[in-house]
């Protein structure tokens, strides 16, 4: 049964009080490949006076298995994460696709399972990083960096599953010296798709080459995104072509430009 | 592993002309659709309304089909049921034989494609002629449609000009689109006037009134359903709607989603054969209702949403995969996202299951679908069916399960539910990154187009531990 | 055949659930446009679909028809001698091309209909403004092929019968309670196709020109 726009109806009291402590769910990709994005997220929160808890026993949200049809396997991994966030405080995920996995897909994954009820407690506390920074922390950023231009790639999950794609733009627009350039066909998928890139590498390649070209055409200095999967994909293609455009996660970019380097 | 579909997709990606043609048309269709829904709130409302109409109709499908049948028969339209495409083909053949007809002129119909009707009739000595311009091009080229709405979208005007010149040597070579269309008009006009039988598809069947709605721009659907003495309509059983009032919203969202038009040139609502004293129209009208796996799809409450589709084509127009590989690469009657969920369910996951891998789950299809079909959700579900151990009602379930893959996932699970092991492994991977980089460089599908991701020296777990971030 | 029918229906019934369904008709889309606006919208929509529009009055429409026939160099026009419009035309046929009547079943003259008739004149059952659409209700007087086969279709429409939307027309004209014709038609322009490169071209199988006289 279709619930109309069920994937899109995410209204939440955004004016909730500012929490003093949050959980960080770092995601496996950031853990292994982009740890500085996670570290930067912690710095950003702490600067706003928010204490961070990072359960060291966290691993992966289970998305790769879920998207591949391995539901039992996804369930086992998801269940292990579920227990790590007992306190009634927000859970921040610096990736829209992992946040979407928990928020949108956990309820389906745990359907008719004995722990189904506890899922909703977690689901309701999950925020994507840029969503949390804008809607809850309402951060005010002061740009300390040199003038630069950036191209943004918002992930498909940020756009169409979490509906938070505009948050990254509004954060970047707070930075005085940053000019944001919209690439052509910005809403089109970069071709990562998790295991898709491995299972259908030829199509994935065609897609990422087109995306990389659109980014290259912006002439921006950096590519910014809220999802490391897309960044690794597009950034990898840019690098392979010896492009001058480097890629960086929004958390790392924001922190780098807004904090005073330690003397 | 290079599978049948991967080879097929690679071949498709190498067809640069087809890719260019496809992309050109698709970009136009996207632009037209966007312009047709300038008001977001109106789109949301209309979509909600249209979704409700389809969900409502499908929820009452058996009752509405019975009501439809009674009303059609009362109006004088003969109703035939076909469980399989073979039965549907045979029914067409029987009608043709009854009327002693050896030629049928066809309007655009995806269901007749699904039936493989032309080939079937040809083997029984009956000639079929497609009259939709796009379908005619496809027939002349001896190909299959690559799109539901624009069947020949993979061909550009030059290719069509050459094709017409080969097929109609008397017509001077021209690349002028309107001259090409006029050539088709002249060629087909005589056949409309003389064909003993016309065959068309159906867009909506109205249960309340016993009416068949046909939506088109060229007039060939009207020709096929009006000029010959016999009209045969073929439809999937899911095309029924409850009442007349359901038609305006669905019609409006269909044409706007498909091509951005507020309405098609012709909306043809057929409720009976020629009435006494009338001077034209077929004296016999037949409707063939085809199941072909639809009732099996119907039996699952989640998969059932597949049947809400009104065949607007918007999902394929907005699909990045379709854009790159084109419609033929799917090797199905219906390509694109809707084909990705429909065809494996109809024809079995054993032969079509890999199609469900042809998606990044980006959600562009669902976003534009006028009846809100959750295509990514159904793809996900079918991926599960494809590899799950205990068999299920979808035919071919479990056929995609591979031992090695299953073992890899088992190891992954073990790793992810044993944080100690996970942390040790990720830590070793990063600390020995020179070695791991070299291993990663060997994953060739990734590295043909992308640089190897460089591992950092430590993981996030390690860095946050070093920063003494609270653990719980 | 009956077995097949019952097999299919039984399978569907076995799967039918008793979930309550959202009402499909809980959204009303009625608008409140002035009649001027409605007529204006009808005109612009039809024009953008490549139809020619002529404004006329109860008195002037015959002259408009003559004018149309003259500028298009029509040699003949097919019409119904039984409608009030047709009768009026017949009475004033002096400046018109040769008039043809669809007074025979099509089987008796199909080839000449397809090859010899240059234009047809029909009445309309109403119009739809937001899509720029003519409603035709073909019957024994004005058969279905009149608006399809001749290369030029001239239709007359009364402005008072133009409704805001398709849904409104259905309601106002009580379609649901009426016996529908064999072939109810909505026509929104001349025949067209975009099957080659999504480029529009007109006059593919149906009329190449649609001319609408508004009275
Ligand atoms: S699935 Fe939706 S978008 Fe795709 S053809 Fe069907 S109705 Fe149109």
pLDDT at A3: 40
Dist CA B314 CA B338 (whole Å): 10
Q: What are the pLDDT digits (tens) for A17-55?
A: 789 999 999 999 999 999 999 999 999 999 999 999 999
Q: What is the mean pLDDT of residues B413-423?
A: 93
Ligand 1 atom 4 nearest Cα: B315
User: How much is the average pLDDT of B432-444?
Assistant: 76
What's the CATH code, domain A21-136? 3.40.50
What is the per-residue pLDDT for C25? 56
Structural domain including B428 reads 404-466
Chain B residues within an 8 Å CB radius of C128: 263
User: In Å, how far are A72, A113, A196, B389 from B399, measured between CA atoms?
Assistant: 17, 26, 19, 9
Q: Are residues B287 and B230 in the same domain?
A: yes
The minimum-distance atom of ligand 1 relative to the CA of B365 is 3
Find the mean pLDDT for residues C105-118.
96
C114/B134 CB distance under 8 A: no
**How high is the mean pLDDT of chain B?**
94
Average pLDDT, chain A: 92
Per-residue pLDDT tens over the stretch B369-402: 999 999 999 999 999 999 987 766 788 888 898 9
Closest to C45 measured CA to CA, from C126, C159, C132, C127: C132
In this predicted structure, what is the pLDDT of residue B370?
98
* Reported confidence tier of residue A2, pLDDT bands at 50, 70, 90: very low
Whether B32 is in a domain gets the answer: yes
Sheet with B103-106, strands from edge to edge, namely: B78-82, B284-290, B230-236, B197-200, B103-106, B127-130
Tell whether C4 is covered by a domain.
Answer: no
Question: Is residue A94 less than 8 Å (CB to CB) from chain B?
Answer: no
Model pLDDT, residue B391: 62
What's chain C's average pLDDT?
Answer: 93
Tokens of B46: 């209309």
C134 phi and psi angles, rounded to 5 deg:
-95, 135
pLDDT band at C17; cut points 50, 70, 90? low
CA B67 – CA B78 distance, rounded (Å): 14
In-domain check, residue C21: no
- Expressed as residue numbers, the domain containing C100 is 32-214
Chain C residues with CB-CB distance to B160 below 8 A: 196
Residue C137 φ/ψ, nearest 5 degrees: -125, 75
Considering the domain boundaries, does residue C1 fall inside one?
no
* Residue owning tokens 């794609």: A165
| B252 contacts in chain C (CB < 8 Å) | 131, 166
- Subunit contact B291:C8, Cβ cutoff 8 A: yes
For B221-255, how does the pLDDT look when each residue is reduced to its tens digit (9 = 90+)?
A: 999 999 999 999 999 999 999 999 999 999 999 99
Q: Which chains touch A (3+ CB pairs under 8 A)? A: B
Q: Is residue C7 part of a domain?
A: no
Closest by CA position to B335, among listed B199, B157, B153, B139: B153
Pair A161, A104: CB distance under 8 Å: yes
Q: Whose alpha carbon is nearest atom 6 of ligand 1?
A: B309
pLDDT at A12 over 80: no
Nearest to B372 among A4, A39, A205 (CB): A4
Nearest to B456 among A6, A35, A66 (CB): A35
Q: Tally C-beta pairs within 8 A across A and B.
A: 225
CB B223 within 8 A of CB B198: yes
Question: What's the CA gap between A133 and A94, in Å, rounded?
Answer: 11
The Cα of A231 is separated from the nearest Cα of chain B by a number of Å equal to: 10
Q: Which residue among B256, B341, B373 has the greatest number of ligand 1 atoms within 8 angstroms of its CB, and so is best to mutate?
A: B373
pLDDT at position C203, please? Answer: 94
Q: How far is the C-alpha of B223 from the C-alpha of C145, rounded, in Å?
A: 8
* Pairing between β-strand A178-181 and β-strand A148-153 as defined by DSSP bridges: parallel
Q: Model ipTM? A: 0.96
- Whether B324 sits inside 8 A of A73 (CB atoms) is no
Beta strand C183-187 with B266-270 is antiparallel
Q: For A187-226, what is each residue's pLDDT tens digit?
A: 999 999 988 998 999 999 999 999 999 999 999 999 999 9
**φ/ψ (deg, to 5) at B169:** -60, -20
pLDDT of residue B237: 98
Q: What is the CATH number of the domain that holds C56?
A: 3.40.50.10420
B470: DSSP letter: B
- Average pLDDT on C31-50 reads 94
Q: What is the pLDDT at residue C18?
A: 56
Is B298 part of a structural domain of the chain?
Answer: no
Per-residue pLDDT tens digits for C52-80:
999 999 999 999 999 999 999 999 999 99
* Of B185, B277, B296, B189, residue with least CA distance to B237: B296
**Subunit contact C176:B262, Cβ cutoff 8 A:** no
CA distances from residue A224 to A30, A117, B363, C63 in whole angstroms, order as listed = 15, 37, 21, 68
Residues B238 and B173 grouped into a single domain: yes
pLDDT tier at A13 (50, 70, 90 boundaries)? very low
B191 & B330 share domain: no
Q: Are C157 and C38 in contact (CB under 8 A)?
A: no
Q: Of B292, B322, B357, which residue constitutes the final position of a domain?
A: B292
**Cβ(A40)–Cβ(A256) below 8 Å:** yes
Is B417 inside any structural domain? yes
Q: What is the pLDDT of residue A10?
A: 43
The reported pLDDT for the residue numbered B169 is 87
In degrees and rounded to multiples of 5, residue B279 shows phi and psi of -105, -10
Asked if C205's CB is within 8 angstroms of B188's CB, the reply is yes
Q: What is the dihedral of CA A122, A125, A126, A127, to 10 degrees?
A: 180
Q: Where are the domains of chain A?
A: 21-136, 148-258
Residue A233 sits at the chain B interface (C-beta within 8 Å): yes
pLDDT tier at B158, thresholds 50, 70, 90: very high
Whether A47 and chain B come into contact, CB under 8 Å, resolves to no
Gap between the Cα atoms of A2 and B53, Å rounded: 12
Q: Is the predicted pLDDT of residue A7 greater than 90, yes or no?
A: no
Same domain, B175 and B241: yes
Is residue C79, in this structure, part of any structural domain at all?
Answer: yes
Q: Indicate the fold that domain A148-258 takes in CATH.
A: Rossmann fold (3.40.50)
Whether B137 and B195 share a structural domain: yes
Under the banding of pLDDT at 50, 70 and 90, the label for residue A16 is low
Domains held by chain C: number: 1
Residues B352 and B208 in one domain: no
In contact, A158 and A128? CB cutoff 8 Å = yes
In this prediction, residue C32 has a pLDDT band, given cuts at 50, 70 and 90, of confident
> What mean pLDDT comes out for the span B443-470?
89
Best residue of B51, B403, B449 to probe chain A, by most A CBs closer than 10 Å:
B449
User: Sheet harboring A51-53: ordered strands across?
Assistant: A51-53, A21-24, A91-93, A126-128
Q: Subunits that touch chain C (at least 3 Cβ pairs < 8 angstroms)?
A: B
Partner residue opposite B464 with nearest CB, options A54, A187, A210: A54
Examine residue C135 and state whether it is found in any structural domain, yes or no: yes
**CATH code, B393:** 1.10.1060
Dihedral (Cα; B188, B192, B195, B200), 10-degree rounding: 100
pLDDT for the residue numbered A116? 92
Q: Does residue B182 form part of some domain?
A: yes
pLDDT digits (tens, 9 = 90+) for B287-342: 999 999 999 999 999 999 999 999 999 999 999 999 999 999 999 999 999 999 99
- Burial grade of A221 (CB within 10 A; 0-12, 13-18, 19 or more): middle
Rounded to the nearest angstrom, the minimum Cα separation between C24 and chain B is: 5
* Average confidence (pLDDT) over A223-245: 96
Of residues B37 and B434, more confidently modeled: B37
B370 and B443 belong to one structural domain: no
Q: How far apart are CA C36 and CA C39, in angstroms?
A: 5
| Integer Cα distance of C153 and A131 in angstroms | 58
For residue B430, the chain A residue with the least C-alpha distance is A32
């Amino acid at each position: 049964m279709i619930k109309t726009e069920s994937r899109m109806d995410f209204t939440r009291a955004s004016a909730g009080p500012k929490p003093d402590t949050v959980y960080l769910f770092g995601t496996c990709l950031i853990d292994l490949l982009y740890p500085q994005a996670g570290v930067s997220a912690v710095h950003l929160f702490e600067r706003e006076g928010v204490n961070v808890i990072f359960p060291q026993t966290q691993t992966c949200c289970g998305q790769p298995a879920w998207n591949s049809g391995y539901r039992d396997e996804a369930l086992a991994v998801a269940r292990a994460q579920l227990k790590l966030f007992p306190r009634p405080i927000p859970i921040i995920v610096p990736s829209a696709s992992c946040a979407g996995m928990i928020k949108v897909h956990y309820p389906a994954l745990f359907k008719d399972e004995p722990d189904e009820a506890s899922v909703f407690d977690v689901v309701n506390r999950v925020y994507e990083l840029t969503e949390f920074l804008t809607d809850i922390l309402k951060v005010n950023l002061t740009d300390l960096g040199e003038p630069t231009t950036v191209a943004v790639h918002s992930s498909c999950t940020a756009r169409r599953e979490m509906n938070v794609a505009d948050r990254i733009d509004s954060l970047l627009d707070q930075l005085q010296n940053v000019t944001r350039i919209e690439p052509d066909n910005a809403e089109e998928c970069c071709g990562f798709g998790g295991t898709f890139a491995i299972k259908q590498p030829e199509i994935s390649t065609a897609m990422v080459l087109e995306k990389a070209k659109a980014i290259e055409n912006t002439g921006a200095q950096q590519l910014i995104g809220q999802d490391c999967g897309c960044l690794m994909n597009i950034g990898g293609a840019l690098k392979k072509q010896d492009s001058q455009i480097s890629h960086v996660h929004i958390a790392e970019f924001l922190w780098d430009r807004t904090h005073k380097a330690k003397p | 592993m290079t599978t049948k579909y991967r080879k097929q997709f690679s071949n498709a990606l190498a067809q640069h002309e087809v890719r260019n043609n496809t992309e050109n048309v698709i970009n136009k269709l996207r632009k037209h659709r966007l312009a047709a829904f300038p008001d977001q709130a109106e789109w949301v409302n209309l979509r909600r309304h249209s979704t409700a109409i389809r969900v409502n109709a499908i929820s009452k499908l058996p009752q509405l089909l019975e009501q439809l049948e009674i009303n059609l028969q009362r109006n004088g339209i003969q109703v035939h049921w076909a469980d399989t495409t073979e039965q549907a083909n045979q029914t067409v053949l029987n009608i043709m034989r009854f009327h002693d007809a050896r030629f049928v002129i066809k309007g655009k119909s995806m269901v007749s494609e699904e039936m493989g009707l032309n080939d079937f009739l040809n083997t029984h000595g009956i000639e079929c002629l497609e009259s939709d311009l796009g379908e005619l091009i496809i027939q002349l080229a001896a190909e299959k449609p690559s799109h539901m709405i624009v069947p020949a979208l993979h061909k550009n005007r030059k290719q069509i000009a050459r094709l017409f010149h080969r097929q109609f040597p008397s017509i001077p070579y021209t690349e002028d689109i309107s001259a090409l269309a006029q050539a088709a008009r002249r060629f087909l006009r005589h056949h409309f006037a003389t064909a003993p039988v016309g065959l068309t598809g159906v867009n909506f069947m109205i249960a309340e009134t016993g009416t068949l709605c046909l939506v088109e721009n060229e007039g060939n659907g009207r020709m096929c359903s009006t000029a010959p003495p016999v009209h045969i309509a073929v439809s999937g059983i899911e095309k029924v709607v409850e009442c007349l009032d359901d038609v305006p919203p669905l019609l409006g969202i269909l044409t706007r989603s498909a091509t951005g038009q507020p309405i098609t040139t012709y909306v043809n609502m057929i409720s009976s054969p020629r009435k006494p004293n009338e001077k034209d129209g077929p004296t016999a009208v037949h409707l063939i209702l085809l199941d072909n796996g639809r009732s099996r799809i119907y039996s699952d409450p989640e998969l059932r949403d597949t049947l809400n589709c009104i065949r607007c084509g918007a999902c394929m127009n907005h699909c990045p995969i379709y854009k790159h590989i084109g419609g033929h690469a799917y090797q199905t009657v219906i390509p694109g996202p809707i084909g990705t969920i429909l065809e494996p369910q109809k024809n079995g996951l054993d032969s079509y299951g890999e199609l469900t891998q042809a998606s990044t789950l980006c959600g562009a299809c669902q976003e534009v679908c006028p009846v809100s079909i959750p295509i990514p959700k159904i793809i996900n579900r079918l991926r599960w069916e494809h590899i799950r151990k205990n068999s299920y009602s979808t035919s071919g379930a479990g056929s995609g399960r591979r031992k090695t893959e299953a073992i890899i996932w088992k190891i992954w699970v073990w790793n992810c539910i044993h944080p100690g092991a996970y942390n040790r492994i990720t830590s070793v991977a990063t600390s020995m990154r020179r070695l791991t980089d070299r291993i990663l460089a060997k994953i060739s599908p990734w590295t043909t187009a992308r640089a190897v991701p460089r591992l950092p020296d430590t993981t996030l777990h390690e860095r946050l531990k070093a920063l003494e971030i609270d653990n719980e | 055949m009956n077995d097949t029918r019952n097999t299919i229906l039984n399978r569907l019934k076995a799967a039918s659930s008793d979930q309550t369904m959202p009402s499909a008709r809980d959204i009303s889309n009625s608008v409140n446009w002035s009649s001027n606006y409605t007529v204006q919208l009808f005109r612009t929509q039809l024009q953008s679909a490549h139809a020619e529009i002529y404004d006329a009055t109860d008195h002037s429409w015959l002259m408009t028809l003559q004018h149309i026939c003259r500028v298009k160099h029509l040699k003949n026009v097919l019409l119904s001698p039984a409608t009030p419009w047709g009768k009026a035309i017949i009475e004033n046929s002096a400046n018109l091309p040769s008039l043809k009547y669809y007074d025979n079943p099509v089987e008796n003259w199909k080839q000449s209909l397809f090859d010899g008739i240059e234009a047809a004149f029909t009445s309309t059952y109403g119009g739809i403004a937001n899509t720029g659409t003519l409603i035709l209700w073909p019957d024994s007087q004005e058969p279905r092929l009149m608006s399809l086969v001749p290369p030029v279709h001239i239709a007359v429409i009364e402005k008072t019968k133009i409704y805001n939307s398709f849904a409104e027309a259905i309601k106002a004209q009580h379609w649901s309670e009426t016996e529908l014709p064999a072939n109810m038609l909505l026509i929104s322009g001349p025949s067209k196709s975009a099957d080659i490169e999504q480029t529009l071209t007109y006059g593919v199988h149906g009329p190449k020109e649609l001319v609408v006289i508004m009275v």
